Amino acid sequence: YHRLLAKYNTLKSSSVSDVLVIPDAYEPVVDSYNLVLVDAHSHNFKDNYLHGTESGGEKAAAVLKQAVTEYLITQQSSRKACRMKICVYANLKKLSVEAANQYATRNRCFGKPAFPRSLGAFAAGFSRGHVSVDCVDVADDEAVERKICGLFEMHIKDPACNQILFCASGSAQYMRTLKKHISFAKKITLVQRGSEDTSLTNLGLRSVTLPQIFESFGGNEADSNDLKETRNGFEVTSKATVSWIHMPPAPTVSLPRNSASEIILINASGDRIDKHMDAPTKAQWNEYNACITTRRLCAMFHVGHGCSLRLCRYDHGQISANERHCLRYRMRALPCRNAGSCRDAFCMRGHMCHYKECKKRRVSYCKMPSSHHGIDPNVKDWITPNENFGG
């Protein structure tokens, strides 16, 4: 007994320094990090950064990093600093043209650059400041989506990854990827482009807006001072009378009629063509306006894919055919991110400009971006739509 006790005491004294310390389950992994994924085509950086060459890119990276840091501080119980990795993907050639066209419509004195990839300086400046911040040029839009979805799937299951801020939307591929990993919802934050960005809201994921760095969806802030489109619907935002609420004028482009609802019409270039939709009458508008003065309609539920939010703040109650028609008409005045390439069976947004007047000069009531203008409205063929989300 005495010999065993002596051996025990010897072993005990020699192994004190080797005691295994079990980490607190709530403490972050030592080398933990946060990931920010950005589709620069869906999430446009503000003009003052985008057209600010290298210095604009460097400032954009700093502002984005600071905005994300401030957001994460409000969300995480641990105040220990984590690494941050920011990955921005874009087809710089296409993005340069789109950005120049959009900027020119707002600033007539702006001279469009004569060379492709004019945003190369912005991308270089964005990537210059920090080793874990990158703006990457890829071949096309599909490559952007493939890269972002691939990185998301690679990191979402990594225990060291605390949070992924998903700055991308408007794609069926994004919807499928997020739905596939919905069990990791606590690690996902959607960065929305404002209240009108509803393409991924029916997943019920946490969301945030970063207006200090990204342009709002469609640039429609001036649409109406009395009505705004919120997360899932429309609501009156002032005490103005309903007669002041902006009503989109009837289209002046001749759109195809009498086509089956289950097909998508395309032109010779393969661009989707919107079907004719009768403008609501004054009586229908009056009925709709009376409705939205007391109710906040959920657009996704009434005219979109359907709302799957467990606790939606917006109205799912019964509405009349006239009210539904007016809501659908208003939604189609807003642009679909995929424009003519959209093949979403349930897309409730517009895919082309509906006004002949825009050929001479962009009219104030047209809310379509440059990518939706100049589309031939003549039908060449019709196709069966896919039923995936992503309008």
DSSP 386: B
What H or E segment, with its residue span, contains residue 177? helix 172-180
Residue 151 confidence class, pLDDT cut points 50, 70, 90: very high
Q: Is the pLDDT of residue 211 over 50?
A: yes
Between the CA atoms of 323, 329, 334 and 339, what dihedral angle is there, to the nearest 10 degrees? 130
Q: What are the Cα distances from residue 352, in Å, to 172, 326, 336, 337? A: 19, 19, 9, 11
Mean pLDDT of the chain: 78
Q: Is the pLDDT of residue 195 over 70?
A: no
Read off the amino acid at residue 34. Answer: N
Percent of the chain topping pLDDT 90: 27
Q: Is the pLDDT of residue 62 over 80?
A: yes
Is pTM beyond 0.85? Reply is: no
Task: Report the pLDDT averaged over residues 269-292.
Answer: 87
User: Phi then psi for 219, rounded to 5 degrees?
Assistant: 60, 40
Residue 134 confidence class, pLDDT cut points 50, 70, 90: very high
Task: Report the pLDDT averaged over residues 310-339.
Answer: 85
pLDDT number for residue 200: 78
Nearby residues of 260 by Cβ (< 8 Å), 6 or more positions away:
none
* Strand partners for 273: 265
Bridge-based pairing of strands 161-167 and 33-39 is: parallel
Task: Report the pLDDT averaged over residues 208-226.
Answer: 63
Residue 220 confidence class, pLDDT cut points 50, 70, 90: very low
Comparing 125 with 23, the larger pLDDT belongs to 125
CB 298 within 8 A of CB 257: no
pLDDT number for residue 169: 85
d(CA 313, CA 201): 12
The fold for domain 33-217 equals Rossmann fold (3.40.50)
- Tell me the two tokens of residue 302: 């009434």
Task: Report the pLDDT averaged over residues 158-179.
Answer: 90
Extents of the domains making up the chain: 33-217, 227-383
Comparing 347 with 262, the larger pLDDT belongs to 347
364-375 residue pLDDT tens: 777 788 778 888
User: Phi then psi for 335, rounded to 5 degrees?
Assistant: -80, 140
d(CA 166, CA 149): 10
Read off the amino acid at residue 345. Answer: A
Strongest mean pLDDT among 79-83, 192-196, 208-212 = 208-212
